[in-house]
Structure 1
């Protein structure tokens, strides 16, 4: 009994069977990805059933975004299917993350689209997060921070210290979370309200400094007092408690010594405004985002401590008898 002859199909029939355009099949054949099984005397290409199955495989792999070179390696046996899939999964994961980053930037840009004069510039600034130009990202943030320091009109030593501290180096690439942090930072840095808060938080006090206290000494003493205020707040200490009143006296004394100002009710009112919840919360949020961008742990929050100090100052202002105790306290003399 004779074995049945294998059936061959013309390129037009193969195109109908597989849904792959004739032009594409011809191209695959020309690059030897799908060699024609036979040719007629008129040189028309003929394809076997096995070739059709191979074409179907090529079609599926192309839909899965495999390159022609990768498909050639798989079909030729030069690369295992498992390895190829692993590589493709890695590439797809990267593409997903990239698309998520693009989506985050576009969503944020959409929020400013109602302001045509700002939207293009904002889109550029947001787009820096997707750029491979690390220097441009670093320059953008550093320039904004330096502008804040210059506007604050601080003493020369303090200004140089902050300019050095506010020089930021961007990581080479951003994660999706860092993209979200970047877009929020762009909006914060471009918000005039943030600039006003930052200047009020620093310059209204520090630009008046005529004492010999350096920034390291001030930072050390201020941090200790804020830590103590945070602890007192978390322990539920009342504003009238001796420990909180002592903290307030030390805080007032520190700033008065720094600025060489008299401890008047107006002075205390100014200190209270600097410690307003909106200002300290926004500053805390900003530095938390900056830490995330730099791949560091978020700085500790002293929000409750700041709130306690601000409330304590307002308490002193509203209670003349308590205020006089602080202002007349001989321990405040320098």
Structure 2
């Protein structure tokens, strides 16, 4: 009985002739609580199809089925955001299952890592009879040896950038601009959790992979080209990018559609950040070429890197989700351009 998700047969038999159910009846049928179902209504995950004249919620059999589905997905540890996307069709079932399997595998890896630390500490306590009672100190030293503070992370990235020669030939101020968001979000002086440490370890493995550096070089070629022939100062460019990030966050919070003037204006501004004076004569031609390049340059390694960074610091989601919004907006605009 997955989390009480199976509708009780006796309850069904008592209500099978009914067209609608009260919130209490619906809660009993799916093995949940009135408070939980009310919460789903409040966040607009699932709203009842009807209300009584007195304002009480009434749920149809279809509503109850959807509530049961939500309960099942919650039992399987799906987040509210993913459930919303699944039920709206924005996220495919296969993709959602892959994401959840990956998330659970990450949790298993995290638990194994923590288990290893505790087992080592217990063994240390049993063997070191002269210093009995100091296992907590030993645990702390083990964790410190595994986690990477901000300074260690900065040093690692700095060393890899030099070794890769990715930023060779780029003016110093533009090198700082290139790493602006990464430094701002990924290099915060916060102690990483076990799960974040595991993610950071994989981030390091990806950065160490020459194939990833090649992917990154291709993806960021427009930036490198612009940095060598800038139309504005590096600081001004960063401020514009920060403004775009804020606009993208607002668009996502307010759920503006991709074809809305606000989102499309943002998409246009983002792509044109890479334009030079020579493109002023035919900006639409530049948009087509640049947008297609940006979309075609995203690889699985790039996507994996961004996902891991979201685990290391959830604030990175603002960057990744904003980029995803811009990319979807680009696809829509390109499609509209082709149809015109």
Calculate the TM-score normalised by the size of structure 2: 0.46
TM-score between the two structures when normalised by the length of structure 1: 0.47
Larger radius of gyration: 1
